[in-house]
Structure 1
Amino acid sequence: MTSLPLGECCFKVTFQQGTPQGRYKTFNSVNTYVTKNFSTESARYLIVFSDVFGVDLVNAHLISDNYAEALG
C-alpha cells in the first residue's frame, strides 16, 4: 500500500547501466528471468520480486544480474 499523496521518493529512479546477461525461463507456468550463473544443482537461490512495473524492465534484469554476481 502506498502513502497518499505520493511522496517525492516515489518519482526517483536510478537506471542501471549494461546489458542483461540472463534469459527467460518458465517455472510452473510462470515466466521468470534467470541469471547466467543459475544452476539447479545450487543449494542457494535468490528470488527478486519486481515492483508494479514488472520483471520485463531491463533495470530489473540488471539488478538481478548484479545480485547474482555478488553472491557467486
Structure 2
Amino acid sequence: MMTEYLHPEGIVFTIFQAYEYKEAPFYIMDSIYGSTFCMETGFHGNHGIHIGTTFLVRHFKFHFSKIHHFGFEAATW
C-alpha cells in the first residue's frame, strides 16, 4: 500500500526541514519573515507528522480494505 512508500518520505522531509532550520540565515526572533517562516514550516511539518502517523496507525489496525476505504476516498476528494 501507499503507506509503506510515503512513511520514509515523511522522515526524509523532517530531516530536511531540521537542516533548513539549522542553516537558515535568520531566526524566529529576527524579523517578521523569520517568525512567519518558522511558524508556517513548523505547522506544515507538525501536520505531516501527526496526520501521517494517524494514517499509519489506522492502516496497521486494518481500518482500510479493498471494500472499506471511504474515509481515504473522501479525504482525497
With normalisation by structure 2, the TM-score equals 0.27
The higher relative CO (CA closer than 8 Å, separation ≥ 6) is in 1
If you compute each CA radius of gyration, which structure gives the higher value, 1 or 2? Answer: 2
Q: If each structure's helix is expressed as a fraction of its own residues, which one has the higher value?
A: 2
Q: If each structure's strand is expressed as a fraction of its own residues, which one has the higher value?
A: 1
